[in-house]
A = this chain, B = another copy of it.
Amino acid sequence: MSATGTPITNAIRRLRFEHGEMTQQALADACGITRQTVIALEGGKYAPSLELAFRIARTFGAGLEDVFQWKE
């Protein structure tokens, strides 16, 4: 795993567990995306669009930079 093809990492998986027993499907529904996308994001396959990043952060009640990190 950890086949990162993007210089952006995220704390989605950790936040998901910290937010009760939130499943990938539950997060996907809350953000209006598919479970496939959640899997890809958690697996670091690619970085989300800025819009989706906002929706994910808001779902966790967090700021953008609490969820996504930019490793220059």
Contacts and interface: CB of A to CB of B under 8 A. Distances in A.
Count of chain copies? 2
B70 A51 contact: yes
A50 B68 CA distance: 9
A64 interface: yes
Given A63-B65, A70-B58, A49 B51 contact: no
Interface in A36-69: 47-51, 53-55, 58, 63-65, 68
A6 interface: yes
A33 to B, nearest CB: 14
A72 B47 CA distance: 21
A8 interface: yes
